[in-house]
């Protein structure tokens, strides 16, 4: 028995890293999970390796009606949505005077517009059951968790685009919490610090991803990676599994009275990597 038995969860960007660890943890607690990634082969592999029930939607969520089709994947498979984790994202780093319009707009698209469109697409599947339950005097809590970052809440040199997007998702979270609290839909965010993923690995030619046929460099310089023990009171970066723990709490019944909040999962780090 799990605390999320029979719940249906959508986790974006869930074939690797924090997203995969989150999908695995939700599944281990009984949830049925939609796995999403740009790379369909990796998404299918991840879905096959997770023990519980899964469905797959592979595709770029910044394109066309992809957010609607993502939500429809859950409805087609299980007829409902109970949990949404907006986790998909990546970085395009440059000082602001060298940053292109394209890099600025791409960060806002994936980190703010995609969560907005996923939530909007899921709205009838979250709100309509809640209206009926409210009429019946029954409380059933559903969950939305948006992934932010200390780069968004505190700023970070070289990441004006990413920081702006991650800060904007906090505003989206707090606004939606005010609008949808009446439906017992808990809306919260997690702000991650330095978690060991592709985004914080060494910045070299082996650490790249492909988006729309273009290779995108990921990672941070090794000099900054080496500063982690000085920036983080716990003395090390977090693991994807530890990051997923914070998300799981906000998806669980123990967070039913936690609403409109930003949970810092940072090992005690409360600044950007270079401040």
Q: In the annotation, is 90 catalytic?
A: no
In whole angstroms, what is the distance from residue 82 CA to residue 209 CA?
A: 31
Residue whose pair of structure tokens reads 């990413």 in the numeric block: 162
Residue whose pair of structure tokens reads 């810092």 in the numeric block: 264
In whole angstroms, what is the distance from residue 256 CA to residue 252 CA?
A: 7
CA nearest to 53, candidates 21, 82, 26 = 26
Q: Say if CB 191 and CB 157 are below 8 A apart.
A: no
Q: Look at the alpha carbons of 22, 248, 70, 115 in this order and tell me if their dihedral is positive or negative.
A: negative
In whole angstroms, what is the distance from residue 99 CA to residue 266 CA?
A: 27
Residue 193: C-alpha distances to residues 205, 246, 248 (Å): 24, 12, 17
Q: Look at the alpha carbons of 77, 86, 269, 158 in this order and tell me if their dihedral is positive or negative.
A: positive
SS3 34: strand
Catalytic residues: 162
């Amino acid at each position: 028995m799990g605390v999320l038995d029979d719940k249906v969860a959508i986790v974006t960007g869930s074939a690797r890293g924090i997203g995969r660890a989150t999908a695995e943890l939700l599944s281990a607690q009984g949830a049925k999970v939609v796995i999403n990634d740009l790379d369909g082969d990796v998404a299918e592999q991840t879905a096959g390796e997770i023990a519980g029930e899964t469905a797959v939607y592979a595709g770029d969520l910044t394109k066309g009606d992809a957010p609607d089709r993502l939500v429809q994947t859950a409805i087609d498979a299980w007829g409902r949505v109970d949990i949404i984790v907006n986790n998909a994202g990546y970085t395009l780093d440059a000082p602001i005077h060298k940053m292109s319009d394209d890099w600025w707009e791409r960060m806002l698209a994936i980190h703010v517009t995609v969560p907005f469109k996923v939530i909007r697409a899921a709205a009838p599947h979250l709100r309509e059951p809640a209206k009926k339950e409210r009429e019946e005097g029954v409380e059933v809590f559903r969950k939305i968790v948006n992934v932010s970052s200390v780069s968004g809440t505190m700023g970070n040199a070289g990441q004006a685009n990413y920081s702006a997007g991650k800060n904007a998702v906090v505003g989206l979270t707090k606004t939606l919490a005010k609008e949808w609290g009446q439906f017992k839909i808990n809306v919260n965010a997690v702000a991650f610090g330095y978690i060991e993923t592709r985004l914080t690995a060494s910045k070299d030619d082996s650490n790249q991803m492909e988006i729309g046929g273009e290779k995108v460099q990921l990672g941070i310089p090794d000099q900054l990676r080496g500063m982690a023990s000085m920036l983080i009171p716990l003395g090390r970066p977090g693991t994807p599994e530890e990051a997923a723990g914070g998300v799981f709490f906000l998806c669980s019944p123990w967070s039913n009275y936690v609403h409109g909040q930003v949970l810092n999962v940072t090992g005690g780090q409360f600044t950007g990597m270079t401040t």
